[in-house]
Amino acid sequence: MSAAPILRIDHVGVRFGGLVAIADLHFDVAEGEIVSLIGPNGAGKTTAFNVMTGFLKPSQGRVLFKGEYLSRLKPHEISRAGLARTFQRTSVFAADTVFDNVLIGLHRHAEPPLLDRVVPARRRADEARLRARAREILELVGLASRADELAGSLAYGEQRLVGVALALATEPTMLLLDEPVSGMNASETQVFVRLIRRVRDEGVTILLVEHDMPMVMEVSDRIVCLNYGRLIAEGAPAAIRADPAVIEAYLGKGGAARELAAEVQG
Ligand SMILES: Nc1ncnc2c1ncn2[C@@H]1O[C@H](COP(=O)(O)OP(=O)(O)OP(=O)(O)O)[C@@H](O)[C@H]1O
């Protein structure tokens, strides 16, 4: 990788008492990439995700985002620096419309200069700008036609799209997706795959943690595989699919993992 990475996981270790959840994890994500973090249950994916988003401080190492040392920042400061995340559980305001959900998100993030807040004409211009941006974001995630519906009335897959819209309302340069297609049916998953590509084409780098192997293989430029908290393989989907250490990691974990191993191999 020639250009400076947008995200660097720099020899990160996390311990919970005597348990090593992650050991010496080191990988980079380049600007514009779609990278997936995979691994069997308990491999340390969620722990790594929580370190990257500031919810957990590493016991060792550091995380750099655009060259800045992230481990010292609080989650809201990380979001302000341009690194957004989605949550496994949808976190929409169910009683508000889809449009208002996004508008509230934009208001939270935008801090207009004092003059824009106190001069009525400027305040109106700012509000118009945010409303236009909310419409753009809904267009991007494919929910423009549902803008006036209550977020709580949408189907599960669509609510997760609102979750992505809320993350995009922070105007991120990188988006971390936590098991974004879990619980989705095949057609919802396909919609989501197209969305991830569209978001990347808008200039947002993507890192996802995901169990759905066919989806991971389809959408990723590169895959990082963990097992027992350690990086065991890193590469393009075709290489990961054929990597003996990856297949072994999934095979060694019982029935459900065996099925996953079959999926990894395609
Ligand atoms: N808060 C915690 N306290 C103690 N141990 C923890 C804590 N969080 C995670 N662990 C342990 O750390 C290891 C890594 O867990 P983690 O949840 O990161 O794995 P994962 O790859 O996300 O698993 P899954 O795919 O099942 O979500 C596991 O052994 C887990 O039991």
Number of structural domains the chain divides into: 1
Closest CA to 174 of 214, 129, 144, 204: 204
Would you say the CB of residue 39 lies under 6 angstroms from ligand 1?
yes
Q: What is the pLDDT of residues 183-218, one digit of tens each?
A: 889 999 999 999 999 999 999 999 999 989 999 999
> Which residue range(s) make up the domain with 108?
90-170
* Choice from 47, 49, 59, 250 to test ligand 1 binding pocket (greatest atom count within 8 A of CB): 47
- Residues 228/231/235/239 CA torsion (nearest 10 deg): -40
Q: What confidence tier does 72 reach under pLDDT thresholds 50, 70, 90?
A: confident
Q: What is the pTM of this model?
A: 0.88
Q: What is the pLDDT of residues 131-148, one digit of tens each?
A: 999 999 999 999 999 999
Q: What confidence tier does 32 reach under pLDDT thresholds 50, 70, 90?
A: very high
Residue nearest to atom 18 of ligand 1 (CA): 44
Say if 36 falls within a structural domain: no
Would you say the CB of residue 59 lies under 6 angstroms from ligand 1?
no
Say if 159 falls within a structural domain: yes
Say if 132 falls within a structural domain: yes
- Residue 184, classed as helix, strand or coil, is coil
Say if 97 falls within a structural domain: yes
CA of 121 to the centre of ligand 1 (A): 52
Judged by average pLDDT, the poorest of 62-76, 163-177, 217-231 is 62-76
Say if 156 falls within a structural domain: yes
Q: Residues 32-36: what's their mean pLDDT? A: 97
Give Cβ neighbours of residue 218 (< 8 Å, ≥ 6 apart): 193, 237
Q: Residues 87-95: what's their mean pLDDT? A: 78
Say if 32 falls within a structural domain: no
Asked if residue 125 has pLDDT above 80, the reply is: no
Give the ipTM of the model, two decimals please.
0.94
* Choice from 45, 56, 216, 260 to test ligand 1 binding pocket (greatest atom count within 8 A of CB): 45
Say if 70 falls within a structural domain: no
Place of tokens 């549902």: 146
Say if 194 falls within a structural domain: no
CA of 19 to the centre of ligand 1 (A): 10
